[in-house]
Amino acid sequence: MSTREAVGFDPEELLELEMILVDEDAVAALAFLKRAVWNKIQRARQGRLKCHLDNRETNPVDEFQQVTKKKSD
């Protein structure tokens, strides 16, 4: 996978990250990565995963049927 993601941290998260590094707490580090990093990346990806047909007001199947019907007439 060759995509890049940017993750922003609020001040509380930065403080938590600093405490994890100072304490060298592996358990807290993994929990932080899952919550503060991975979940944000997943939410960002879900926001981009949209079909190009999602925001259409008309049904593409109906449009296709109309076009093919006109061509056959």
Position with higher pLDDT, 63 vs 36? 36
Tell me the three-class secondary structure of 57-71, residue by residue: CCCHHHHHHHHHHHH
- 3-class DSSP state of 56: coil
- What's the CA gap between 11 and 32, in Å, rounded? 14
Residues listed for the chain: 73
**Residues 12-44: tens digit of each pLDDT:** 999 999 999 999 999 999 999 998 888 888 887
pLDDT for 67 equals 81
Asked if the model's pLDDT at residue 53 lies above 60, the reply is no
Say how far residue 10 (Cα) sits from the centre of its chain.
Answer: 19
Verdict on whether the full-model pTM lies above 0.85: no
Sorting pLDDT into bands at 50, 70 and 90, what band is 3? Answer: confident
